[in-house]
């Protein structure tokens, strides 16, 4: 299974809202939130919304503010898609 990414905030948010969800608000006292969902085409996705990063002129492969999207491409089943995307988010956010 491959993972596709959309790092443009407006495109990631457009896919999320097209699936019937509103803006993924970050809880008070936190700087990140992510949600699993199926997009309008039935693909399993995770949207990640981050804030609190120092704004940079170029991301230099570092975490940045705003929304990004991870998409499961051709997963063998829904469980694998969810587990693989969950692991990818944990790695992306450097969570133990």
Note the pTM of the prediction, 2 decimals.
0.83
E-state strands within 1-96: 2-6, 32-38, 44-50, 66-73
Inter-residue contact 94 to 63 (CB < 8 Å): no
Neighbours of 21 (CB within 10 A): 14
Into how many domains does the chain fold?
1
CA torsion through residues 10, 16, 21, 24, sign: negative
pLDDT digits (tens, 9 = 90+) for 39-79: 999 999 999 998 865 555 555 555 556 899 999 999 999 99
Show the domain range for 70: 2-92
What's the CA dihedral at 90, 30, 68, 74 to 10 degrees? Answer: 40
């Amino acid at each position: 299974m491959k993972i596709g990414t959309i790092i443009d905030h407006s495109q990631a948010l457009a896919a999320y809202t097209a699936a019937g969800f509103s803006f993924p608000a970050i809880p008070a006292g936190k700087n990140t939130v992510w949600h699993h969902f199926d997009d309008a085409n039935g693909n399993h996705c995770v949207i990640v919304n981050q804030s609190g990063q120092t704004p940079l002129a170029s991301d230099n492969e570092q975490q940045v503010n705003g929304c990004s999207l991870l998409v499961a491409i051709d997963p063998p089943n829904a469980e694998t898609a969810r587990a693989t995307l969950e692991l990818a988010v944990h790695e992306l956010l450097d969570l133990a």
